[in-house]
Amino acid sequence: MKGEVLLDAVLALSPTIRYAALHLGGGEPLLRERSGEAGTPDSERWDELVVNPVLIELARRRGEVDCGGLDYLVVRYHRFWNLVLPLDGGHLSVIIEPAVDPLQMVPAIQRIAARHGAVAASAA
């Protein structure tokens, strides 16, 4: 999988997508943003290294109890939506403008991820 190509395809989906990141494994996350549209690079890096993996782990564990697993997370911050898709070995994070319904974008983003070889994490 070419992570950069996947992220470019996600950004090309809509001008309302500010930022996309892919984090697989223990290395550094790949980050793509529209010019001037995302937060600070250090803040984004820590979101991908710490915050999103912890949120995924907590929701995944809960989902495995009796909910059939975890498909994705949607977090609403004051200035944007953060859509996080768990993948085998990591996650894909997409920052979306606050006026947009992120749930409408989920199927298209999942298709892009699958088309570029990003495998969704298995449900319980």
Residue 75: C-alpha distances to residues 1, 84, 102 (Å): 26, 8, 10
Q: Is the pLDDT of residue 123 over 60?
A: no
**Which range has the worst mean pLDDT, 73-77, 86-90, 103-107?**
86-90
Q: Read off the pLDDT of each residue in 82-104 and give the average, rounded to a whole number.
A: 95
**Is residue 124 very low, low, confident or very high in pLDDT (cuts 50, 70, 90)?**
very low
Burial 1-25 (b: 16+ CB within 10 A, else e): eebeebbebbbeeeebbbbbbbbbe
β pairing state of 90-96 and 81-87: antiparallel
Q: Comparing 87 with 35, which gets the higher pLDDT? A: 87
Q: Read off the pLDDT of each residue in 52-75 and give the average, rounded to a whole number.
A: 94
- Please state the CATH superfamily assignment of the domain spanning residues 3-115 in this structure: Dynein light chain 2a, cytoplasmic (3.30.450.30)
pLDDT at 37: 52
Q: What is the mean pLDDT of the chain?
A: 90
pLDDT at 72: 96
Q: Read off the pLDDT of each residue in 84-109 and give the average, rounded to a whole number.
A: 95
**Is residue 69 very low, low, confident or very high in pLDDT (cuts 50, 70, 90)?**
very high
